[in-house]
Structures are given as structure tokens and as C-alpha cells.
Amino acid sequence: MNLNFDKFQADVELNSLASQVNTKTEGVEIFSAMCAGKDTSKFGNKVDKVNAYMKNKGAQAVAGDTKAQAELNAIRTEIIQAPLLKRLNIFDFMGNKITVGYDEVVKYKVYNLEGKMSGEQAVNGSFPFASYTYSTRTMDTGNITGGVLVDYREFQTGNTDAIQVMNEQVITDMLNKVFYKVQNALYNGVKNAPIKNFSEAAGITKAAVDKALKIARRYGTVNISGDYSVVSQLEDLAGFKTDVAGTGLRFSEAVMEEIRKTGLLKTYRGSNVVEIPNSFNVTKLNADGDFYDTYLPEGLLYFLISGELSPLQIGFKGGLQSMTGLDLNTRTQATRYDLEVGTAFIDEYAPHAGIVSDSNYAVEK
């Protein structure tokens, strides 16, 4: 069932009770480990006690006990939030990640170097020196939404596998929605910048990759990343020609070993090559209608710099918010999760990020 939450009626009493539940306990930690299938032996007989407690709360919730329902909702939110926020750290390699409280404004700084960097100067002479100024800007944010249908019977029966499957689907769905927003901001920002390291054509060509890498290397250490559809094309660019006509392509033993171990080339001209995971969205078909679509664009190859001022700013406000209520479209009880996210692109820093786009794949999803 596809929940879009365009018509959602929150249960005020249930959500008020859930906000009062303390989820920073060892019992929640144990139950989270049980759902994730982790080793719980270090907790000893506490595992059985937690299992019995959660089953009892599930039975109470099924019987209509509002306090039990609120407690289970709060525990599920905690179990989803911890791994989701941890996985959001992946955006550190794509931009500058900023986290603020829910009632704060997301602000970021743009630095401008001024003065003279170095030069020859008389011993007692005056000279201009390097300094910097900065301006502070703010970014708008919007909600990324996900959710699950509420079924307390899974807690009642101790079906932790089913609970984990639903939790993982929420995490995957929301993470990929954020990733799509971030990728779109980076793509449009680099493409539309007045000075840019960007090219777009049908297929990933050696000329385009080498040009983008040459520019990016001037700024620092480069990581090349993208969907399997584009990083796999780098394999054909890593070989060398064995005849004058250029038709005899061969690979070095080191390249062959990289591809044998992982199925992909791991380095290209000294830069790391990283595949960005791109799951199928099982609620949406592709343009041809013959298979599921992917969450993220498949045709974008990024050249990103480590330790440099990033043109992309990514803001998160207040962590994961949740509320339980009635989905009016399906007439079922559901828990909705919201993550407030914003992006901003700094044109002044645009050359620090490079993109080679394969136009055989759509950017918009």
C-alpha cells in the first residue's frame, strides 16, 4: 500500500503521550538489537525480559490501550531515527552538512579571500597581506516524508523480523529522497554556474572524464562517485591500446585484479572510484513500465574534492519528527515521519565540484 500523507489526521492524545516516553533506555537498545538481528548475548537474561515486556505492550496496544500504543510508537521512532541519522553522514562527502535545532534558521558562511598572498618585499617596507571576509546566508528547508502502517500485532507476537523490514523500508525510502534532493541541487548548481566543471553527452567518454579530473585535481584529492551505470563505464577507459589503430584494448594486471574482486574499477588515474548505492523504488515503474524505477539518477558521475570549501550546503533541522494518526486516503492508522532538509549552492565555489552527465539517463525522477 502506497502512503502519500496528503490527507493525514494526527491523533493529538496519542502523539502527546508518545512525546513523554523515555526511549533512551537499555531496554530500547536491546529491542533495537533484537530487531536488527544483532548479537544480544552481552545482555544476558535481560533479552527475555525485554521480549516479554514488548509482547505484553503489544497485546495491550491491540486491545486499545492508548498509553501502550504511544510507547510502542515512540520506541519505533527511536529505532528508525538512530540508523537514519547515522546514514545521513554519507552526505559529508557531497557537501557541507549543517545540523540545527528545530526552532533555528539554517545559516552558512561564504568566504572571500582578499589582499596579497605572497611576493618579494623590501626588509622595512609596508606590504598588503592576505585576509578574508565572509557573508552569512540562510537556506530554505522543506519536509522529506515517510511512514508505516501501524500494526501492533507484530509486537504482540514478537515478530521482530517484520518490524525490522518495515523500519528498514522507511529508512531506505527517506534516505533516498534526501539523496535525490541533494543530487538535484548539486547537478543544477554545477550545470548553471557561470564558471563550472561540467559536461553532458550520451555516454561517459574518456575525454570528458580526463578533462573533469584534470580540473578537479588542481583543488585537491578527488573522489569519483556515481551510480553503477556510470562508474562501470570507467572500466573501458582504464585500458591501454596495443596497436596503432587503437582497436586492441588491454588492461593492466592491477586493473584486472580490481575488477575481479569487486566487479568495478576502484581507482582511476590515482583517484578513488566509489559506487553510490541506488535502490529500486518498488512503488514506481520506470518510463517503459517494464520494471521498477531507481530512487536516484543513474547518469551522474561526480568529481568531488576532499578537504575543500564545498559549493553545496546541506541543512537538517530538528532531527526526525513523528506523529501517528489516520491516513484519510486509506482509512488506516499510520505513523508519519518528517525530516526537514534544505540545500543551497554557492556559485563562488562551483569549480570545486565536477560533474560528467550521461544523457542516456534521466536526471528528474
pLDDT per residue over 194-239, tens digit each?
999 999 999 999 999 999 999 999 988 899 999 999 988 987 776 5
**How far is the first Cα of the chain from the last one, in angstroms, to the nearest whole number?**
20
SS3 call for 343: strand
How many residues are recorded in the chain? Answer: 365
Please indicate, yes or no, whether the overall pTM of this predicted structure exceeds 0.85. Answer: no
Tell the residue number behind the cell numbers 537538517, with chain if given: 316
pLDDT of residue 243: 43
Q: How far is residue 3's CA from residue 329's CA, in Å, rounded to a whole number?
A: 8
**CA neighbours closer than 13 Å in the CB half-sphere of residue 118:** 0
pLDDT over 70, % of the chain:
85
Q: What is the pLDDT of residue 31?
A: 97
If you average pLDDT over residues 250-261, what whole number do you get? 45
**Cβ-contact 355, 301 below 8 angstroms:** yes
Closest CA to 182 of 104, 72, 276: 276
**What's residue 112's pLDDT?**
77
Residue 120: predicted pLDDT: 53
For the cut 70, the answer to whether the pLDDT of residue 123 exceeds it is no
Average pLDDT over every residue of 246-251? 44
Place of cell 500485532: 153
- pLDDT 10s digits, 296-353: 999 999 999 865 578 999 999 988 999 999 888 777 889 999 999 999 999 999 999 9
281 DSSP β-pair partners? 293
C-alpha cell at 209: 572524464
Find out whether 357 and 200 touch, Cβ atoms under 8 Å: yes
Query: In this structure, how many other beta carbons lie within 10 angstroms of the beta carbon of residue 55?
Result: 15
Query: d(Cα 72, Cα 156) in Å, to the nearest integer?
Result: 11
